Amino acid sequence: MLKYLTKPWTILTVFTAFALMMRLFSFFPSVINHDESTYILIADALRRGQVYLKDVMDTKPIGIFLLFAFFQILFGKAIIVIRVITAVWVAFTGFMLYQTHRQFVQSSSLTGYNPAPVASGIIYIFIASIYSTYGLSPNTELFFNLFTITGLYLILRYKSVVIFFLAGLVLGAGFMIKYVVLFDALAIGLFYLWLQVRSEKSWHFWLLRCSLLALGFMIPFGVVWFWYRQLDLGETFWFYSFELSGRYVLKPIWYEYINFVFNCFLSFLPVVIWFFYCIWNWRNTETDLPVLSSLWAMFIMFIILWPGRFFSHYFVQFMVPLSLLGGSFFDPRRIPGRAFAWMRKPVVGYPLLGLLIIANVAAQKIIFYDRKDYPGEVAAYLNTRLQPGEIIYTGDYEQIIYHLTGTSSPTPYIHSSLIWLAANNNTLKINQAEEFEKILNKNPRFILINYPLMENNPLYIKLQKSYTVAKTFDKEVIVYERKNEG
């Protein structure tokens, strides 16, 4: 089947259709996770002229919120639109993996069709679209991955100094989505230097290009920093950009690191097997791709593990080198032994892939489509009762309800965990009791409290005086209404 995918536009079309199919049933729920809701709400606020890190707060760089605001301007505010855009974005990332892998195989002496580049793209779309939180939710990793692989492609494909500057800008834009992209850029830069040293290029040839790459990389950050300085928010920007990340570092027990990596690798078998097989048998093809992927994987694994916070979506960043080299398992120049050869037989591989796709889509339907959409029900309930100008506070429940009811958060801390979790209070220097007092002083008509109840929470204690239970949605959420509203 892969041999029929030869034209780039055909491949992009197939990749897009594949991504949409793989993620279909994740388009419909109001919430997949809190992060996506935060991106949507802060993007709403930016479009209304509010300032990030002043009027609305989060711990991530501004890039992801600007990107979502751009999507909303072009395509509208509907949540399903963001999910579809994310699927197409994943398809484009797979396509750029295909284009990048082609750069490594075009110079080979192999005659005939090489399915490895297409395999890399398909692998990425598949593993980024499994039903767990590893890739279905529109997380930052899914978006900056396109920037990193595009930056690499530009460096490999073109020699012009202007293109190197452009590649730096692309990588710098990814950096403004999440700062961990620095480690992608370092791996790519070191790989480029290795290529130049091996090809015995003159030092001024690679120095000029590396300098322009670094300059382009710094410009997006520099522009944002200058803008915040003009708003007298330079210190705030600096704190959230550098000091905050150091405060989030934990030190788990050593075996917790091993357990996290093992579980991630186990989730993506057999791709992980193909990845390490290609590293071990690096002489079977050109050395460039195994060297790049190994170096890149080590840099990414370091930054994934360094904070000590084992969130599964962090591993999405690792999927780029994993897919890039994993696709090389299908390179005809590789002749695997009997233990692995069966994986490349179409009579085995295609039916197995088909079964996995069916299982994934069925699991998504059960988990996302068939289950009750409580945030949607709560929003519908509130929309029949809210009067123009009235305020709600979503408490420790789903903040997407602001978006669904057309209201705004009474606190700049959109992500509820920033206020409700003691660890975040300490890290961000938030006085929880004072923040709750500010919220209550705005007299929200409705306040939502999640199950299980945190009865020792300062907000819950204050609710008992001024609010009464208006409605309970199973053991999901309680809607409190201010007593003087009847």
Query: Could you read off the pLDDT of 306-357 as tens digits, one per residue?
Result: 888 888 888 999 999 999 999 999 888 888 877 777 777 777 777 888 888 8
pLDDT of 85 higher than 90? yes
The reply to whether 175 and 36 lie within a common domain is yes
In contact, 148 and 196? CB cutoff 8 Å: no
pLDDT at 146 (0 to 100) = 98
Residues in the chain: 486
Average pLDDT, integer, range 273-302 = 89
Tell me, what DSSP letter sits at residue 51?
-
Angle made by CA atoms 253, 257, 260, in degrees to the nearest 5? 130
Compute, in degrees rounded to 10, the torsion defined by CA atoms 383, 385, 387, 390. -80
The reply to whether 213 and 123 lie within a common domain is yes
pLDDT at 196 (0 to 100) = 85
pLDDT at 356 (0 to 100) = 84
pLDDT at 332 (0 to 100) = 85
In contact, 396 and 450? CB cutoff 8 Å: yes
The reply to whether 358 and 426 lie within a common domain is no
**For residue 53, is it left (φ>0), alpha (ψ between -120 and 50) or beta?**
left
Average pLDDT, integer, range 287-316 = 90
The reply to whether 349 and 455 lie within a common domain is no
Angle made by CA atoms 388, 389, 391, in degrees to the nearest 5? 115
pLDDT at 276 (0 to 100) = 92
Query: Between these two residues, 338 and 184, which has the higher pLDDT value?
Result: 184
Mean pLDDT, the chain, integer:
89
- Between 207-211, 391-395, 412-416, the lowest mean confidence (pLDDT) is in 207-211
The reply to whether 268 and 194 lie within a common domain is yes
Which tokens sit at 452? 């299980």
pLDDT at 402 (0 to 100) = 96
* Total domain count, the chain: 2
Max Cα–Cα distance, the chain, nearest Å: 80
User: What is the band of 131 on the pLDDT scale with cuts at 50, 70, 90?
Assistant: low
Do you find a cis peptide bond into 270, omega within 30 degrees of 0? yes
Which tokens sit at 183? 């480690």
Which tokens sit at 310? 């084992």
Which tokens sit at 317? 């960043």
Tell me, what DSSP letter sits at residue 367?
I
The reply to whether 388 and 349 lie within a common domain is no
> Residue 144 burial by CB count (10 A; 0-12/13-18/19+): exposed, middle or buried?
buried
pLDDT at 438 (0 to 100) = 92
pLDDT at 110 (0 to 100) = 59
User: What is the band of 359 on the pLDDT scale with cuts at 50, 70, 90?
Assistant: confident
The reply to whether 89 and 31 lie within a common domain is yes
The reply to whether 361 and 380 lie within a common domain is no
Q: Write down which residue in 338, 366, 394 finishes a domain.
A: 366
Q: Write down which residue in 311, 341, 366 finishes a domain.
A: 366
- Between 107-116, 299-308, 391-400, the lowest mean confidence (pLDDT) is in 107-116
The reply to whether 177 and 254 lie within a common domain is yes
Average pLDDT, integer, range 143-172 = 94
For the range 265-271, what are the long-range contacts, defined as Cβ-Cβ under 8 Å and sequence gap of 24 or more? 267/130, 267/132, 267/134, 268/127, 268/319, 268/322, 270/343, 271/123, 271/127, 271/322, 271/323, 271/326
In contact, 467 and 481? CB cutoff 8 Å: yes
- Taken in order 76, 68, 89, 105, the sign of the CA dihedral is positive
pTM for this predicted structure = 0.93
Main-chain dihedrals φ then ψ at residue 54, nearest 5 degrees: -130, -60
Which residues form the domain of 122?
2-366
C-alpha closest to that of 279 among 289, 271, 269: 289
In contact, 344 and 329? CB cutoff 8 Å: yes
> Residue 73 burial by CB count (10 A; 0-12/13-18/19+): exposed, middle or buried?
exposed
Which segments of 306-457 does DSSP mark as H helices, in order? 319-326, 338-341, 346-364, 374-383, 400-405, 417-420, 422-428, 432-441
Rounded CA-CA distance 37/272 in Å is 31
pLDDT at 186 (0 to 100) = 96
pLDDT at 108 (0 to 100) = 60
The reply to whether 324 and 269 lie within a common domain is yes
The reply to whether 126 and 212 lie within a common domain is yes
In contact, 411 and 393? CB cutoff 8 Å: yes
pLDDT at 483 (0 to 100) = 87
N-terminal to C-terminal alpha carbon distance within the chain:
65
- Give the best-scoring range by mean pLDDT among 7-16, 64-73, 433-442, 443-452: 64-73
- Residue in the block written with tokens 């289950």: 371
pLDDT at 243 (0 to 100) = 81
pLDDT at 260 (0 to 100) = 87
Rounded CA-CA distance 178/174 in Å is 7
pLDDT at 172 (0 to 100) = 97
Rounded CA-CA distance 442/445 in Å is 9
The reply to whether 174 and 233 lie within a common domain is yes
Per-position DSSP letters for 101-130, written without gaps between them: HHHHHTTSS--S---HHHHHHHHHHHHTTS
Q: Write down which residue in 342, 366, 390 finishes a domain.
A: 366
Give residue 412's identity as a one-letter amino acid code: P
